[in-house]
Amino acid sequence: MPNFVVNNVAQANGDHEVHQTGCNYFPSNYRDLGWHPICRTAVAEAKKIYSKSNGCYHCSNECHTT
C-alpha cells in the first residue's frame, strides 16, 4: 500500500497535486496523507485540506483529471 502526500503549493491552475512517495515529481513542501490502497482515497483525504486537489499525472494518473 503506497504512502501519499499533497503538495502545499498549488499548480498554476489552482490544483494541489497528490503524489505517491517515490514520484519523480515529489514536492518539497507537502502534507502527509498516510497510506492508501488507491489514489482515489488519498485524493478524497487531500480534498478535506484543499478542496481543489488532483492526482499527479505521473504517479497517480488514474486520479489525474486536470
- The span from the CA of 30 to the CA of 45, in Å, is 14
Give 66's pLDDT tier (boundaries 50, 70, 90).
confident
User: Confidence band (pLDDT; 50, 70, 90) for 38?
Assistant: very high
Q: Which three cell numbers stand for residue 58?
A: 505521473
54 CB neighbour count, 10 Å cutoff = 23
Q: Which residues, including other chains, have CB under 8 Å from residue 57's CB and lie 6 or more apart?
A: 64
- The span from the CA of 28 to the CA of 40, in Å, is 22
pTM of the model: 0.94
